[in-house]
Amino acid sequence: GAVVSQHPSWVICKSGTSVKIECRSLDFQATTMFWYRQFPKQSLMLMATSNEGSKATYEQGVEKDKFLINHASLTLSTLTVTSAHPEDSSFYICSASRGPYEQYFGPGTRLTVT
C-alpha cells in the first residue's frame, strides 16, 4: 500500500509555455500533499503544502503565481508551472500524507524547459 504516482514522468516544453504535473495517491486518501523541487545532488526543497479544498501554502521565496497548485480531491493534486523558463528546469516530486507522520513520495517529474 501507500503508492503515489506522478504524471508525466518526464516533460520537455518551450520557454513561455505552461506545464501541468499530476500527483495521485492510488490506494489511500491524502488530506495533505506536498510539492518539492530537487536540483542535482541536492536534497529536496519544499515548495508548497496543499490541503484538499483549500488554497496551497507556499514556502518563502516560491512564486505562487508561477507555480499554481490545485488539490482537487483527496487523491489528486496538480502543479502547473506557468510561463516556464529554463531556470525552472528541475526534478519535481510530490508527496502525500497518509497519517500525521507518514509521507509517501511520488516517482518525480523531470521538467526540461528549452
Partner 1 sequence: QKEVEQDPGPLSVPEGAIVSLNCTYSNSAFQYFMWYRQYSRKGPELLMYTYSSGNKEDGRFTAQVDKSSKYISLFIRDSQPSDSATYLCAMIDQGGSEKLVFGKGTKLTVNP
- The C-alpha atoms of residue 111 and residue 16 are separated, in whole angstroms, by 14
For partner 1, the closer of residues 13 and 44 by Cβ is: 44
> Which spans of this chain sit near partner 1 (rule: CB under 8 A)?
2, 4, 6, 32, 34, 42-44, 46, 49, 91, 93, 95, 97, 100-108, 110
Q: In whole angstroms, how far apart are CA 11 and each of 19, 20, 110?
A: 8, 10, 6
Within 10 angstroms of residue 29's Cβ, the number of other Cβ atoms is: 11
Give 24's contacts (C-beta < 8 A, 6+ positions apart): 4, 5, 6, 7, 75, 76
What type of residue is 38?
Q
Please report how close the Cβ of residue 16 comes to partner 1 at its closest, in angstroms.
Answer: 26
For partner 1, the closer of residues 15 and 57 by Cβ is: 57
For partner 1, the closer of residues 34 and 67 by Cβ is: 34
Please report how close the Cβ of residue 9 comes to partner 1 at its closest, in angstroms.
Answer: 9
Please report how close the Cβ of residue 77 comes to partner 1 at its closest, in angstroms.
Answer: 14
